A = this chain, B = another copy of it.
């Protein structure tokens, strides 16, 4: 009996908007976006907000209410916002996912309604995941409040939560219907979060955009001292590069093995977990990139002066490119608990052949399919001593 072949394509589109003071009643952005996306009069709106954001912006829930009161044609708020603690903890504890799903059930939030999440990358990952699996997908709008989520994770197509001690073990590829970047949220960020997001911009510059790397170098002091205009430019450029990679890379839902946007991430994910999430994602990514940059130079792929230039940029931005966790459990007996286990977990998570992006120039990623453990150890030791030296310099 003849086989039946199925073939179809699914088209996705969404925009990332940039604004300030999104919920000021005279700011029309949210009104326009929601009006454009609303297909039926029975649609509702439900907000999930990062508790950390509300701590710094206690007026936020009230402003949202006022905004919707002022614009009665918008899909009505079906309940008070659900507040959830931000940061990795909300992805580690499955009860938070459950709480969002319960709200979807209790308030009759349907596939044409909107779950709008306001917060950092972790909260957005969680809310996006819950929205994606409820009713096989409720419409989801992201309002990222950190540099990292505004220029990287929040503008992409993934969501997820952690399980079995593994980052993003559960998740889906489901794009949001819109992303609204409100720069005003960045003003109240802790300096570690302000800085952390710059890591992903350096990442995308290193693998594909040398002029962007130079502009980050040129603006390093401004960025480190919280100059908003420099940060806006960095976020806009980085978000565009990230999105162009997704749409232009030919594999938006990552069916293959190539994953250049995960440069530096195999060890970063492991370090975050080993540190019990003491390390912010961006901080771990800097360390992870430092490892792979140094490995690239030791491997003869990247000129030494480029490696030094990259580490120097990390320092000028206030990053540490080394953490003692890198040295933990490296004896051969315990190596499966060391950062090196990140290679195996990374391969398992992505599937297929191990594919690691290294550099053979600034702005030039190159993929390799195996990593030399001894050379990796050498890279780690190099970073350890470079870091001691740097700290000594600071002390002097």
Please list the residues of chain A having a beta carbon within 8 angstroms of any beta carbon in chain B.
1-18, 39-43, 101-102, 105, 108, 110-113, 132-138, 155, 158, 160, 163-164, 166, 168-175, 232, 236, 239-240, 243, 246-247, 252-257, 347-353
Contact = CB atoms under 8 A, between A and B. Distances in A.
27 contacts: A4-B236, A4-B243, A5-B13, A5-B15, A6-B13, A6-B243, A6-B246, A7-B11, A9-B12, A10-B10, A10-B12, A10-B252, A10-B253, A42-B352, A42-B353, A105-B163, A105-B164, A105-B166, A110-B348, A110-B349, A110-B351, A111-B255, A111-B351, A112-B352, A113-B351, A132-B172, A135-B350
B137 A172 contact: yes
Specify which of A4, A17, A134, A254 lies most central, judged by the most chain B CB atoms within 10 Å of its CB.
A4
Ranked nearest first, the 8 interchain pairs of A and B with the lowest CB-CB distance are A111-B351, A110-B351, A1-B18, A112-B351, A8-B247, A112-B352, A105-B164, A136-B171
A102 B347 CA distance: 18
A160 B136 contact: yes
B5 A135 contact: no
B42 A347 contact: yes
Nearest to A1: B18
A12 B6 contact: yes
A176 to B, nearest CB: 10
B164 A111 contact: no
A163 to B, nearest CB: 7
Contacts of A255: 111
A164 B133 CA distance: 14
Contacts of A12: 6-10
A234 to B, nearest CB: 12
